[in-house]
């Protein structure tokens, strides 16, 4: 988890020019870090490449739009990292 | 190529859905109202239109991969380099390769070649979204025939 977070935080810092020290596991990518949807595509691209996965962004947004999930479940960084770890585990299973 | 109608691709030369690659040909027209302003006595193909050439070419492979069920929309252009002037009448070959198919987006690596020499390049990100109107899909299917897009490769066979 910690290494996943470090990788994700570094990607966000580099992609969005956000000071690395301000990026915390509790940070909400949209509400706290003010990352917009276009910048998040860059982040998703970098995460997909770094972890060899495909973040299911469309599914997540559909769930949020349908009221079946909250943005916190996917866009608070510790939760995002948990999702990444699950995707990585599923890939190698 | 009809600049005023944003028809930047004349013909698909090669397309591989499996390899995520497309190559297209286009010839810059010798006359266009665009050259009256860009520039008087020194007509040049505008660099932004060369980028549009790359975006449209990449669009064909992304449409193919989506089986014309969804449509790519230009979202970001990175590392765009315009290396040489492109004059009216120049034949272009435009190459696009899919670097990444994400969820609802794709990233392509693109270049334009003149006689085998790269004149411009860029990495382009697209959002992949449902067609905003049925007329858009119809227009693209008609354009597919015009550019000799291999519709049979995606099961249309029209």
pLDDT tens, position by position, B80-134: 999 999 999 999 999 999 999 999 999 999 999 999 999 999 999 999 999 999 8
Cβ atoms within 10 A of the Cβ of B126, count?
23
> Per the CATH hierarchy, to which homologous superfamily does domain B3-140 belong?
Hotdog Thioesterase (3.10.129.10)
Query: pLDDT per residue over B32-75, tens digit each?
Result: 999 999 999 999 999 999 999 999 999 999 999 999 999 999 99
3-state secondary structure of B57: helix
Q: What is the mean pLDDT of residues B72-79?
A: 98
Judged by DSSP in three states, A83 sits in helix
Domains along chain A?
2-92 (1.10.1200.10)
**CA B11 to centroid of chain Cα atoms:** 10
**B125/A41 touch (CB, cutoff 8 Å), yes or no:** yes
Global confidence as pTM: 0.93
Whether the predicted pLDDT of B20 surpasses 60:
yes
Provide the pLDDT for residue B157: 54
For position B158, what pLDDT does the model report?
A: 47
* Residue B54 DSSP code: H
Mean pLDDT of A47-68: 96
Per the CB < 8 A criterion, the answer to whether B90 and B114 are in contact is yes
3-class DSSP assignment, residue B19: coil
Q: How many CB pairs under 8 A join A and B?
A: 35
Per the prediction, chain A carries an average pLDDT of 95
Helix (H, G, I), strand (E, B) or coil at B82: strand
Sign, CA dihedral B58-B2-B112-B51, equals negative
pLDDT for B153 beyond 90: no
- Closest CA–CA distance from residue A56 to any residue of chain B (Å): 6
Give residue A10's pLDDT band: very low, low, confident or very high (50, 70, 90): very high
pLDDT at B10 over 60: yes
ipTM, two decimals: 0.91
Whether residue A52 is predicted with pLDDT greater than 60 in this model: the reply is yes
The domain limits of chain B are 3-140
pLDDT at A92 over 90: no
Q: Mark out chain B residues that contact chain A at CB-CB < 8 A.
A: 75-76, 100-105, 107, 125, 127
Residue with tokens 């495909």: A54
Q: Residue B155's pLDDT band (boundaries 50, 70, 90)?
A: confident
User: Is the pLDDT at A2 greater than 80, yes or no?
Assistant: no
Phi, psi at residue B138, to the nearest 5°? -60, -40
Mean pLDDT, residues B20-27 taken together: 98
**CA A29/CA A89 separation, integer angstroms:** 23
Residue B154, CB-side half-sphere exposure with 13 Å CA sphere: 19
Computed over every residue of chain B, the mean pLDDT equals 95
Token pair of A38, please? Answer: 């276009």
Residues of B in contact with A42 (CB under 8 A): 76, 125
Q: What is the pLDDT of residue A48?
A: 97
């Amino acid at each position: 988890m910690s290494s996943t977070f470090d990788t994700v935080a570094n990607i966000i810092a580099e992609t969005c020019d956000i000071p690395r020290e301000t990026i915390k596991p509790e940070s909400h990518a949209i509400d706290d870090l003010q990352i917009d949807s276009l910048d998040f595509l860059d982040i998703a691209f970098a995460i997909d490449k770094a972890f060899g996965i495909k973040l299911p962004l469309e599914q997540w947004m559909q769930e949020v739009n349908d009221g079946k999930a909250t943005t916190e479940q996917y866009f608070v960084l510790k939760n995002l990292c948990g999702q990444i770890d699950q995707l990585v585990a599923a890939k190698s299973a | 190529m009809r600049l005023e109608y944003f028809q930047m691709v004349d013909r698909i030369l090669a397309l591989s859905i499996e390899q995520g690659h497309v190559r297209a040909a286009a010839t810059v027209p010798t006359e266009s109202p665009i050259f009256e302003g860009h520039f008087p006595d020194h007509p040049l193909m505008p660099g932004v239109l060369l980028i549009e050439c790359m975006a449209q070419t990449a669009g064909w492979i992304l449409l193919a991969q989506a089986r014309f069920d969804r449509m790519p929309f230009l979202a970001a252009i990175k590392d765009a380099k315009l290396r040489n002037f492109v004059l009216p009448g120049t034949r272009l070959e435009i190459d696009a390769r899919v670097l990444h198919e994400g969820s609802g987006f794709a990233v392509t690596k693109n270049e334009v070649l003149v006689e085998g020499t790269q004149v411009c390049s860029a990495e382009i990100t697209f959002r992949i979204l449902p067609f905003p109107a049925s007329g858009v899909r119809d227009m693209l299917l008609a354009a597919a025939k015009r550019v000799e897009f291999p519709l049979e490769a995606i099961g249309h066979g029209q």
